[in-house]
């Protein structure tokens, strides 16, 4: 353990001091393959750096202490490791950060963030966030979030969120939200929430909520503790009250 600690502190010192020198990295490589300590551009193997600025592509393992400088991330094919956080342009593989994992563009594979995981465009695969998981465009796969999970456009797959799950356009699959689940347009699949489930246009499938379920168009089964409603409803409804969205009648 003492040897490991000494080695870790030595490497950490190099990671923090090399970028300030004329030499951006210490490369122990042959033909670009091997070990690189510092802000190198391309490496196949193991790359250790404090904070990325010049990195373009790493095939293997990219381990950093902090998120990259603004608009300075690169692509990682393999493992992106953050102690405590890491960020890239695109990740194809596995991302792990004690605090979080982020991709400027796309994240494909597995992502585990102590606080959160997300991408500016798409998240595809398995994403786990202690607080939340999100994508600017689409989320496709399995999402586990302590608080919330969301997609700017579509969410397809299985989502389990402690508080809520939502999508700007469509949800297709299974969504379980501690408080609620909702889609800006269509929700096709299965939902379970303690408070409510809703969609801007259509609810299709099985939707269960502690308080209410509703959408302008409903197809399937609605089960709620208080009320269920819609305008065009062709569904089995199990609720103490039915609310007609069109005329406000009960």
Q: What is the pLDDT of residues 103-141, one digit of tens each?
A: 999 999 999 999 999 999 999 999 999 999 999 999 999
b/e per residue 173-205 (b: at least 16 CB within 10 A): bbbbbbbbbbbbbbbbbbbbbbbbbbbbebbbb
pLDDT at 68: 87
Banded pLDDT at 234 (limits 50, 70, 90): confident
pLDDT at 32: 79
pLDDT at 83: 86
Q: What is the pLDDT of residues 29-76, one digit of tens each?
A: 898 799 999 999 999 999 999 989 999 999 999 999 888 887 667 999
CA angle (129 as vertex; 126, 132 as ends), nearest 5: 115
Task: Give the residue among 234, 202, 208, 209 at the shortest CA–CA distance from 220.
Answer: 234
* Predicted confidence (pLDDT) at residue 250 exceeds the cutoff of 50: no
Whether residue 120 contacts residue 133, with contact meaning beta carbons closer than 8 Å, is answered with no
Rounded to a whole number of angstroms, the distance between the first and last alpha carbons of the chain is 69
Whether residue 162 contacts residue 179, with contact meaning beta carbons closer than 8 Å, is answered with no
CB 37: neighbour CB atoms within 10 A? 20
pLDDT at 7: 44
Q: What is the pLDDT of residues 181-230, one digit of tens each?
A: 999 999 999 999 999 999 999 999 999 999 999 999 999 999 999 988 88
pLDDT at 22: 40
For residue 201, list its beta bridge partners. none
pLDDT at 63: 95
CA distance 86 to 65: 7
CA distance 244 to 215: 10
pTM, full prediction: 0.85
Q: What is the mean pLDDT of the chain?
A: 88
pLDDT at 95: 97
Residue 24: exposure state from Cβ atoms within 10 A (0-12, 13-18, ≥19): middle
More confident site: 85 or 62: 62
* Predicted confidence (pLDDT) at residue 12 exceeds the cutoff of 70: no
Asked if residue 225 has a cis previous peptide bond (ω within 30° of 0), the answer is no
**Residues belonging to the chain:** 250
pLDDT at 164: 96
* Predicted confidence (pLDDT) at residue 19 exceeds the cutoff of 80: no
Tell me if residue 45 falls in helix, strand or coil: strand
Banded pLDDT at 9 (limits 50, 70, 90): very low
pLDDT at 1: 52
């Amino acid at each position: 353990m003492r040897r490991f600690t000494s080695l870790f502190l030595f490497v950490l010192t190099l990671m923090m001091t090399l970028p300030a020198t004329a030499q951006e990295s210490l490369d122990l490589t042959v033909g670009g393959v091997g070990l690189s300590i510092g802000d190198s551009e391309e490496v196949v193997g193991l790359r250790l750096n404090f904070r990325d600025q010049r990195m373009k592509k790493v095939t293997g393992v990219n381990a950093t202490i902090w998120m990259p400088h603004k608009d300075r991330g690169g692509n990682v094919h393999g493992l992106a490791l953050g102690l405590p956080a890491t960020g890239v342009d695109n990740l194809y593989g596995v991302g792990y950060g004690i605090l979080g994992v982020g991709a400027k563009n796309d994240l494909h594979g597995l992502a585990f963030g102590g606080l959160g995981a997300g991408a500016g465009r798409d998240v595809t695969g398995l994403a786990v966030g202690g607080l939340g998981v999100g994508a600017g465009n689409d989320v496709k796969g399995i999402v586990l979030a302590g608080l919330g999970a969301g997609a700017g456009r579509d969410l397809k797959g299985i989502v389990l969120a402690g508080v809520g799950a939502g999508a700007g356009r469509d949800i297709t699959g299974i969504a379980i939200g501690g408080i609620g689940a909702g889609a800006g347009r269509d929700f096709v699949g299965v939902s379970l929430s303690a408070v409510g489930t809703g969609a801007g246009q259509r609810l299709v499938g099985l939707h269960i909520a502690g308080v209410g379920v509703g959408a302008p168009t409903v197809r399937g089964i609605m089960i709620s503790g208080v009320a269920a409603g819609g305008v065009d409803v062709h569904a089995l409804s199990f609720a103490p009250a039915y609310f007609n969205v069109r005329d406000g009648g009960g």
